[in-house]
C-alpha cells in the first residue's frame, strides 16, 4: 500500500495485535514520506509476514498523538501490540531492516 489511510485503528486495537507490526505515520503529500517509500518497501520485502499499517497523521489524530508522533514519517515497530523501537525520518533501508529484525 503506497497511501496513508485516513481510517486508523484505535490504540486499544493496536495493543491487541499479535505478532510483529509496523505503524507508519505520515501523510500522502509529505515529501519526507514519499522519499522514504522505496526504503521502507525494500526493507519490508525481506519480511513479508510483518503487518505494515500506514496511518495518515496530523493535528487531532488520536493514534499519532498517543504515540507522541511529531515528525513524518515515524515508523513505530511493535511486537504483540507493544512498541519495541521507532525510527523518525529513516535515512536508509538498512536502518529499517535493523529495526525489523528486532520485532521479527
Instruction: Exactly one of 30, 53, 75, 78 is catalytic; name it.
Output: 30
Residue 33 falls in the annotated catalytic set: yes
Q: Catalytic pick from 8, 21, 22, 33?
A: 33
- Spatial separation of the C-alpha atoms in residues 50 and 58, rounded to whole Å: 25
Whether 17 is catalytic: no
Ordered strands of the 82-88 beta sheet: 51-56, 20-26, 74-79, 82-88
Distance in angstroms (rounded) separating the CA atoms of residues 103 and 85: 9
H helix and E strand count, the chain? 4, 4
Placement of cell 525481506 in the chain: 46
> How far is the C-alpha of 88 from the C-alpha of 83, rounded, in Å?
14
By annotation, the residues acting in catalysis are: 30, 33
Amino acid at each position: 500500500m503506497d497511501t496513508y489511510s485516513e481510517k486508523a485503528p484505535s490504540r486499544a486495537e493496536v495493543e491487541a495485535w499479535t505478532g510483529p507490526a509496523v505503524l507508519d505515520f505520515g501523510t500522502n503529500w509529505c515529501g519526507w514520506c514519499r522519499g522514504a517509500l522505496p526504503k521502507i518497501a525494500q526493507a519490508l520485502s525481506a519480511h513479508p509476514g510483518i503487518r505494515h499499517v500506514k496511518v495518515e497523521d496530523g493535528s487531532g489524530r488520536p493514534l499519532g498523538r498517543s504515540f507522541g508522533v511529531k515528525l513524518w514519517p515515524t515508523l513505530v515497530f511493535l511486537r504483540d501490540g507493544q512498541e519495541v523501537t521507532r525510527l523518525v525520518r529513516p535515512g536508509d533501508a538498512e536502518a529499517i531492516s535493523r529495526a525489523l529484525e528486532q520485532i521479527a
